[in-house]
Structure 1
Amino acid sequence: MKKFALFAGIPLLLIAGLALALPSILNAAGLHPEYEGEQVDLSGKRALIVTTSHATLNVPGETSGDPTGVFGSEMTEPYYEFLAGGMEVDIASINGGEVPIDPQSFLYMIKTQADERFLEDAEFQAKVQNSIPISAVDVSEYDVIYLAGGWGPAYDFPESAALASLVSEAYYADHAPILAGVCHGPLGFVRALDNEGNLLIAGRRMTGVTDKQVKELGIEITPYHPETELRKAGALFESQTAFRDMFANHTVIDDERRFVTGQNQNAGAEVANTAMVLVSQSGS
């Protein structure tokens, strides 16, 4: 009987060991790769992280569904990357107030060190709970405007006239910030217009979540998908692929060096750092 009990415990130990190793396994497969970018000093410069205000993963027109929002690391990784460069960082959202965060993004197997840091950072949490409404943002105050992703932006980013206006205003500002976005974040660019009334991103190299990744994750109920909408807006869409695209990674700088976009949740730190490098090179 004792021998049977000993062997019966082996599968449980194996399961427990696999569970403990899962974060490392996923990281090795390509999820949240370690990124060491160029060190820049942007003391006195400011960054704005723009997030969704949509909190429910639902069929458009319905009100019930799983909780969603911004994907944690797509907000936390850039935030701490900007801070490391000496920048001041503000948080804005479509409606202002408390930013919804997708609870699945903080599951232990995918939670990043930046996420862990956020959960202990009272100042950052206060900014997230009291975000600036897009309508109140003064683009002249910022050197980088970064659009965070997650499932939430698939509902409200393309629908926000205020966000589209902010992107256009930022692009033409005398003190023009670098415009950046990751995952579903670039959906905030698709309705922005140039001074002639044409879509601002037409003809620009960009990336975002692939249609393949959306299908692989089985979440196709959202009203807008980044690859589809970026292509519709005339962007020259590019991406990398993997056995599952959630493990792929790609960052794009447009030829004018005004937009930096990242394919998915793996690109947050890289996109933020790349945007900072472009600011440092602009001399502004």
Structure 2
Amino acid sequence: MNKKLWVALATVVALAGIFAMALPTILHKAGLHPEYTGEKVQLSPAKRALVITTSHGVLSAPGETEGKPSGVMASEMTHPYYNFLDAGMTVDVASVKGGEIPVDPQTLMYMIKTPEDERFLQDQVLQAKVKNSLRIDDVDFSEYDIIFMAGGWGAAYDLGYSPVLAKKISQAYYAQKTPVIGGVCHGVLGLINAKDVEGNALVAGRRMTGVSDKQVKELGIAITPQHPETELRKAGAIYESQTAFRDFFATHVVVDDERRFVTGQNQNSGHETAQRMMAIIADRK
């Protein structure tokens, strides 16, 4: 191999290395995981938040049991958790089945891993909560001021199919403590089967968001059994979203007119969704 070819090869390798190192910054600048620049509130430890996640850890076609490892998207759990915790709240973590929560390994890859994800990997307290999550059956939702449902592909397999979750969301809505309820991305599927006292969908007629059908299509993962935009519309919600050249880089947060539900469009919406939930709590007298 002559010298010019070696130089050319070395240049390509160097450029590839530079691009790889710069990729997290490039993605962030494009809109992935934006920083929250709005007003932040402080609450007391007497205020409690519950972060709920999937228990499903395989990306498979409906009815099949084998596929790529999946679960909760790391940032959709870590962003709200640390927002609530750093604001002074007491934060618990639960999942549909309880026990160890599957964290999608792809969402901890270096190019999309966030500072909160890094913090989680060093945080023995949160790691213990994730390894030994509460089972939703055993949790009294009415004891919480905020109920937040994280997304990720795993949530498409169990949050919207859990009668226990639907019932507990319904009961929490009417509880004396009147918690603020919501989530991001596929997490909003936990709302679709909640009912009001007349048996109607609790989300019907409410402005809400969740991951768009466009984003699901663009990511090429359509085998999941439920898609939030589709299911919210079926339940009668007034669906909203923002778009971008790829919706993976968009974000949108919606507070319903009653200020009881706060929903975020996707993985970019966790900080703002959590902060706006806490702002509602702080505004209450």
Report if TM-score (shorter chain) is over 0.5: yes
Q: TM-score, normalised by structure 1?
A: 0.98
Q: How does 1:31-180 map to 2 (within 5 A)?
A: 31-43=32-44, 44-180=46-182
Partner-residue secondary structure (3-state), 2:18 = helix
Partner in structure 1 of residue 11 of structure 2? 10
- Cα distance in structure 1, aligned partners of 2:5 and 2:217: 45
Alignment of 1:199 with 2:201, yes or no, is: yes
Opposite residue 21 of structure 1, the aligned amino acid is A
Alignment of 1:238 with 2:263, yes or no, is: no
The Cα shift of 1:13 comes to 0.4
Task: Name segments (4+ residues, structure 1) moved above 3 Å.
Answer: 1-4
Q: Deviations over 1:218-262 (max 9, x none)?
A: 100011000000000000000000111000000000000000000
Q: How does 1:221-232 map to 2 (within 5 A)?
A: 221-232=223-234
Are 2:41 and 2:282, in contact at CA under 8 Å, matched by a contact in 1?
yes
Are 2:142 and 2:171, in contact at CA under 8 Å, matched by a contact in 1?
no
Partner-residue secondary structure (3-state), 2:13 = helix
Opposite residue 272 of structure 2, the aligned amino acid is E
- Cα distance in structure 2, aligned partners of 1:174 and 1:141: 9
The Cα shift of 1:180 comes to 1.4
Partner-residue secondary structure (3-state), 1:47 = strand
The Cα shift of 1:176 comes to 1.1
- Cα distance in structure 1, aligned partners of 2:4 and 2:102: 51
Q: When the two structures are aligned, how many residues end up with a matched partner?
A: 283
Opposite residue 165 of structure 1, the aligned amino acid is K
Opposite residue 270 of structure 2, the aligned amino acid is G
Gaps of 5+ in 2: none
The Cα shift of 1:3 comes to 5.1
Q: How does 1:205-220 map to 2 (within 5 A)?
A: 205-220=207-222
Gaps of 5+ in 1: none
- Cα distance in structure 1, aligned partners of 2:106 and 2:40: 31
Kindly report the root-mean-square deviation, in angstroms, between the aligned alpha carbons of the 2 structures. 0.9
